[in-house]
Amino acid sequence: MTRHFPYILRLVVCGLAATVLISWSLAAWSTLTSAEVNRPPFDSRFPPLGITPPAGWELRTWVPRRGPGLRHDIVTEMEWIGSRLGMMEGRGNRYMERAAAGWPVPCLQWATDDDTKPGPILRGLPVPLPHREWPERRLPLKPLWAGLAVDVAVWTIAAMVLVTWFGFVRANRRIRRGLCPWCAYPASGTAVCPECGRAAKALRTPGPS
Ligand SMILES: [Zn+2]
């Protein structure tokens, strides 16, 4: 187990890198579609993603939007007029939004306003995209730990499958060429590689090159 530790660690690092890159790609480019617009009283899924509306806000609209691997929620004091949010004079028109991205489950998130956890980690990184559209896209930085664990596990397994498959293909190619499958030393006709000392049964029967 100890011998395999660096190998496993490398795979987990690959899985983590894939998780973050996929989450950021989805946050930047996944196509959002508007879901139904909710008004108070909000159902049990509210507040979405753990948003804590600042004290004193009178929330009137919750707009959940969804895309592949991306969810984006807006909660606001504005009213939904037809197909957009409309400001009203003489009252608060504040809004806050939160997005979570990742596949197969959301693993990173950002928010514009949260009275409980301010700071750049929660606000994410604004991305300058050529085709900017509303809502603004940001790269999320705040981990959703359960989702992160799931996604890293999935992409670590994917990395393991890929590395195993690549190693298998490479070993087969070397064996066909009469080389040691481990170190590529020309070891045709020997049972044990004289270079790396590893046994390789397949070396006894090198195929036609
Ligand atoms: Zn060898």
Q: pLDDT of 150-163, one tens digit each?
A: 999 999 999 999 99
Distance from the CA of 111 to the center of ligand 1, in angstroms? 54
Q: Identify any residues that bridge with 187 across adjacent strands, giving them in sequence order.
A: none
The answer to whether residues 19 and 107 touch, using CB atoms and an 8 Å cutoff, is: yes
Q: What pLDDT is stored for residue 128 in this prediction?
A: 77
Distance from the CA of 189 to the center of ligand 1, in angstroms? 13
Distance from the CA of 3 to the center of ligand 1, in angstroms? 19
Distance from the CA of 196 to the center of ligand 1, in angstroms? 4
- Alpha-carbon distance of 32 to 13, in angstroms, equals 30
- Alpha-carbon distance of 107 to 18, in angstroms, equals 12
The answer to whether residues 133 and 105 touch, using CB atoms and an 8 Å cutoff, is: no
CA distances from 77 to 34, 51, 58, 136 (A): 18, 14, 6, 19
Closest of 184, 146, 188, 185 to residue 167, by C-alpha: 184
Q: What pLDDT is stored for residue 14 in this prediction?
A: 95
Distance from the CA of 7 to the center of ligand 1, in angstroms? 19
Distance from the CA of 202 to the center of ligand 1, in angstroms? 12
Distance from the CA of 10 to the center of ligand 1, in angstroms? 23
Distance from the CA of 187 to the center of ligand 1, in angstroms? 7
Share of the chain above pLDDT 90, in %: 33
Distance from the CA of 209 to the center of ligand 1, in angstroms? 18
Q: What is the mean pLDDT of residues 14-29?
A: 95
pTM (global) more than 0.75: yes
**Tens of pLDDT along 31-65?**
988 778 888 887 766 665 566 677 788 888 888 88
Residues in the chain: 209
Distance from the CA of 200 to the center of ligand 1, in angstroms? 8
Closest of 54, 61, 59, 49 to residue 99, by C-alpha: 49
